[in-house]
Structure 1
Amino acid sequence: MERLTALVDELAASGIEAVAVPLDVTDLAAIAPAVDKAEAALGALWGLVNNSGVGGGTRVERETEQNYDWIMNTNVKAVYFMAQEVGRRLIERKEGGRIINIASIAGLRVLPMLSIYCISKAAVVQMTRTMAIEWARHNINVNAICPGYIETEINAEFFQSEPGQKFMEKFPRRRIGEVQDLDGIISLMLDPRSGFMTGSIVNVDDGQLLM
C-alpha cells in the first residue's frame, strides 16, 4: 500500500486524480467492494486493465498442484471474475466501456519450463475473444495485449546476469522491453475512438514472436 500511495502522490503532482485501492484479486469476494471504493472515489468506471499475473515454473514432470493453483487462480480465475464484475456494471449502465486483459506471447507460443504459465495466458486469449463476442451488443470492447519480455522486478535480476544477457541475444533487437512500452497500446484500447476494435489480440514484443 505504501508503494501505491507513493504512485498516487506522483500522479497528483502531475495533475492526475488517482486513488489507491488494495485488492487481492484471488479473493473473489473482495472484488466487488474494491470496485465500489474505486467508483465512490472517482465515479463510474469506463475501463479496466486486467494486469495481475504471476509466473514461474519448471519441467512438466516436476510441476506441483500448488504452483498450478497459484498461477491459474491469479492469471485466469481472477482475471475472469474481475472482468465479470466490471462487465456487469457496464451492461447495467448501458454506456459501453473498455476491458483490456494482459496476456503474453506465452499465450501464443510455447516457452520452455513455463507450461502452466503458457496455459494460463492461452486461456486469457480465448477468454478475451469470448467476452468480446458476448458483450459486443452492449458496446463493451474487450481486447488483449500479449507483451513480449518486459523488464520487471520478477525478471530484472535474470536479465542482468550473464545467462540473461546471452538469452537476450536471441531477440531480434537484442533487448527487452520496459513497462512504458505498453502505454501506447493501452491508451489506444481505452480510447473512446477505438470503438471498432474488439476481440483483438495484439502482441507487443519487439518482434520476439517471430523468432
Structure 2
Amino acid sequence: TNLKGAWTVAQESARRMVAAGQGGSLVNVTSILASRVAGAVGPYLAAKAGLAHLTRAMALELARHGIRVNALAPGYVMTDLNEAFLASDAGQRLRSRIPSRRYSQPADLDGALLLLASDAGRGMSGSEIVVDGGHLCSSL
C-alpha cells in the first residue's frame, strides 16, 4: 500500500492531468523513516524510501507535461491508529528524542502540503519537505 498504492494513484492522476493538458501537482506522503532506520518495520522503511525515490523519478519524467511531483515527509503524527502506542512508555521515550518534545498533529502538515500543492510551490519539483519537529536533525 505504501509504495504500490501511491504509485497507482499518482499514475492515474498524471494520466488525467496529461489528458487535460493543464499540468498540476502530485504530492506523495513519505516519512522520516525513508531516511532513518528503525527496528521491526523494515518493509515500511523500504516502501517509504522507495516512494521518496519514485517521487524524484516521477518529477523528472512528468516535468515536460507541466506536472510537479513532490513529497511530504512527516515524523510521528498523532492519529487514531497510533495514539495508544504514542501514549505508552515506549512512545514517551520516543517523544523525548524529538527536539520539539511533541508529536505532530495532522493539522501541522497543512502548511507544507499547501505549499507543495499550490502555485506557491510552482518552482518545486522532486523536493521533499520534512515536518517532524526536528526529529531528523537530532542524534540517534
What does 1:12-31 correspond to in 2, within 5 Å? Answer: none
Please state if 1:165 is matched with 2:92.
yes
What does 1:176-187 correspond to in 2, within 5 Å? Answer: 176-187=103-114
Q: Tell me which residue corresponds to 2:16.
A: 89
Gaps of 5+ in 1: 1-73
Please state if 1:105 is matched with 2:105.
no
2:5 is paired with a residue of what secondary structure? helix
Gaps of 5+ in 2: none
Runs of 4+ in 1 over 2 A off after TM superposition: none
2:2 is paired with a residue of what secondary structure? helix
State which structure, 1 or 2, has the greater radius of gyration over its C-alpha atoms.
1
Following the alignment from structure 1 to structure 2, what is the Cα–Cα distance between the partners of residues 112 and 83? 29
Kindly provide the amino acid, as one letter, of the partner of residue 49 in structure 2: A
Q: Give the root-mean-square deviation of aligned CA atoms.
A: 1.0
Following the alignment from structure 1 to structure 2, what is the Cα–Cα distance between the partners of residues 173 and 203? 14
Kindly provide the amino acid, as one letter, of the partner of residue 164 in structure 1: G
1:75 is paired with a residue of what secondary structure? coil
Please state if 1:129 is matched with 2:56.
yes
Residues 105-159 of structure 1, C-alpha deviations (whole Å, 9 max, x = no match): 0111112211111000001001100110000011100000110011111211112
Residues 15-71 of structure 1, C-alpha deviations (whole Å, 9 max, x = no match): xxxxxxxxxxxxxxxxxxxxxxxxxxxxxxxxxxxxxxxxxxxxxxxxxxxxxxxxx
Kindly provide the amino acid, as one letter, of the partner of residue 85 in structure 1: E
Following the alignment from structure 2 to structure 1, what is the Cα–Cα distance between the partners of residues 69 and 29? 11
Kindly provide the amino acid, as one letter, of the partner of residue 187 in structure 1: L
2:94 is paired with a residue of what secondary structure? helix
- Out of 44, 54, 70, the position equivalent to 1:143 is 70
Deviation, structure 1 residue 201: 1.2
TM-score by length of 1: 0.63
Kindly provide the amino acid, as one letter, of the partner of residue 35 in structure 2: L
Following the alignment from structure 1 to structure 2, what is the Cα–Cα distance between the partners of residues 194 and 171? 27
Following the alignment from structure 1 to structure 2, what is the Cα–Cα distance between the partners of residues 210 and 155? 23
Following the alignment from structure 1 to structure 2, what is the Cα–Cα distance between the partners of residues 106 and 167? 14
Deviation, structure 1 residue 183: 0.3
Following the alignment from structure 2 to structure 1, what is the Cα–Cα distance between the partners of residues 58 and 116? 15
Kindly provide the amino acid, as one letter, of the partner of residue 133 in structure 1: L
Aligned residues: 138
Following the alignment from structure 1 to structure 2, what is the Cα–Cα distance between the partners of residues 146 and 115? 17
Percent sequence identity over aligned pairs: 39
Structure with larger RCO (C-alpha < 8 A, sep 6+): 2
1:106 is paired with a residue of what secondary structure? helix
